Amino acid sequence: MRKILNYYRPVRMVVLVNIIAFALLFLYKEPYDRNTIYWGLCVIGIIYLSHFLLRWKACGDEYIFLIVAMLVSMGNIMIYRLDKQLGIKQIIWFAIGIILFFLSYYMYRKFRFWSRWMYLYLGTSLVLFLLTLLLGDSIQGATNWIVIKGHSFQPSEPIKILFIFFLACYYKYPEQLKSFQITLGDRNFIIGSKSILAATAYTYMLFLVLQREWGSALLFFLIYFTLLYVFEENIKVLLANGIIALLGSAFGYLFVYHIKVRVDIWLNPWADIAGKGFQIAQSLFAIGSGGFFGKGIGLGSPQFIPEVQTDFIFSAICEEMGIFGGVAVVLLCFILAYRGFKIALAVESIFDKVVALGITVMFGFQTFIIIGGVIKLIPLTGITLPFISYGGSSLTTSFIALGILQAVSKKVYEMEDETIAQEQ
């Protein structure tokens, strides 16, 4: 009995946080809204049921879901506090995300031919990119949304997973990208698979640049370069990609007005604090005014930050939950990355290894890019904070990726069980 109670203590901590937070959301403002309690119970029920199913079916790593449950809880609490209607929508997306989490876990476990579908991943990505460019709506200056009957969808979110699967296919079966020869004059040039891989990866980034999705383009490059660093033995390939990145960054700053503005604001937001620097300045004021322990849920003023529910949700957390609340978010993301790296190192299949590492790197760099932007560590880019920011596309895609990572962890546990059985 004591062992069971000790094991369930982490999930009880997550539940306790939700109980306290939703009680505060219920009490901080009159007239009291009983729906707040009902929605809080929904969140608690989803977390408990999901944790029970993972334990009952022995679905691999027992902690990555608990880590994410705490991150989602902090996001739900803050979004509900800022806007009840958006908070309710986010809780509904959370429930849908959990369904997709288990569905992606089951499908990845059920089917064994994921490594043979390289061109399907490429084709699907191309179709989504073209649909976005042709039919997409421009929101906040970026043409990265498809709106269908009032519901918006961001294709670049699922494309991240397709991109990781494409890279995993290459490292599993490099021959799927066949080399070819071109003749220029009297000379013949062989275009190898590594060159084709690089060209394809940069094509993904080019589509994102055309959509003015600078943050996502940076994220795709970091995923690609990290996997190159881990799996590529030729240092010249890394140097060539590094030079391309430096040249692209320099070109963007010199010739793309939007990037130049972002860099200038990063260097000195106070020069135009009422205009272009307003957003980052308000973010810094919010983080600073929260102190170590925060003003308390509902007692701050994060609503003065534009796009606070999405890009600047971390600033709102720091203002009302304090620097300690912000540090908790960062540490939870670090622990999630640690568990992901551990899974990637332990699994034997190269395809599973690349998928696990790619998903972990995606979560890690996405967190670094957005938090680094809102605290003025790096230039600001408009991407979401995984599992915390408002947005159905981001949340559901993150849960699909988490379900795949959970499935890979199950393979690791099965390998360990087989090893123990052989030793006995």
pTM for the structure as a whole: 0.94
Look at residue 184 in the predicted model and tell me its pLDDT: 66
Say whether pLDDT at 138 is over 80: no
Neighbours of 29 (CB within 10 A): 11
CA angle 216, 221, 226 (to 5 degrees): 130
| 148 or 297, which is more confident | 297
Among 321, 411, 300, 368, which residue's Cα sits nearest to residue 70? 321
- Distance in angstroms (rounded) separating the CA atoms of residues 381 and 274: 19
- Domain span holding position 122: 2-423
The pLDDT assigned to 52 comes to 92
Q: Helix, strand, coil proportions of the chain in percent (round to 5)?
A: 75, 5, 20
At 6, is the pLDDT very low, low, confident or very high (cuts 50, 70, 90)? low
C-alpha dihedral sign at 407, 410, 412, 415: negative
In the sheet with 151-153, reading across from the earlier edge strand, the strands are 137-139, 142-148, 151-153
The domain tally of the chain equals 1
pLDDT in tens, 162-178: 999 999 999 998 888 87
**Average of per-residue pLDDT across 71-100:** 96
Q: How many residues does the chain have?
A: 424
Higher pLDDT: 189 or 412? It is 412
Q: Which of 22-26, 193-197, 228-232, 351-355 has the lowest mean pLDDT?
A: 193-197
Distance CA 63, CA 109 (A): 19
**Residue 101 near residue 400 (C-beta atoms within 8 A):** yes
Condensed to tens digits (0 to 9), the pLDDT of residues 199-213 reads: 999 999 999 988 888
pLDDT > 60? residue 192 = yes
Nearest to 266 by CA among 247, 248, 253, 250: 253
Across the chain, mean pLDDT equals: 89
Distance (Å, whole) CA 104 – CA 82: 31
